[in-house]
Amino acid sequence: MMNYAIIENFIVTNIALANEPLADNWIACPDNVTMGWGYVDGQFIEPPPFDYSAQNSAQAQTLLTATDWTAIASVADPVVSNPYLTNQAEFLSYRSAVRAIGVKPPTTPATFPTAPTEQWSS
């Protein structure tokens, strides 16, 4: 039994284990070839690694938008707000860490900090 890459439009769309190719687009391949590889001029081509920077940037923006309200000064001021947010400093620290990822997003999956839980007092 051999591994065969099933090729469609120069891309490996599946891998099959068989004694022989069952169609013209079944090409014997090494064990490390997986779906998504290219196949051009008789050569298997490994795809470039996925760049997560756009995804990380978008996630950072979503997290910042969800906590924008925590940066408003009056939300933590007991003279102005009742109830008022008692852990605004935790949110500001969290937002700073998230912003750092958004400004210079890594190309690999980012590990985002956990948002603090709102603490209120009146």
**Average pLDDT score over residue span 10-38:** 96
Helix (H, G, I), strand (E, B) or coil at 108: coil
Helix (H, G, I), strand (E, B) or coil at 88: helix
* Burial status of residue 12 (CB atoms within 10 A of its CB: 0-12, 13-18, 19 or more): buried
Number of Cβ within a 10 Å radius of residue 56: 21
Share of the chain above pLDDT 70, in %: 100
Share of the chain above pLDDT 90, in %: 98
Q: How much is the pLDDT for 69?
A: 97
Q: CB of 4 within 8 A of CB of 15? A: yes
The length of the chain, given as a count of residues: 122
Cα maximum dimension of the chain: 79
pLDDT band at residue 53 under the 50/70/90 scheme: very high
Q: Residues 6 or more apart from 120 whose CB is under 8 A from it?
A: 83, 84, 85, 86
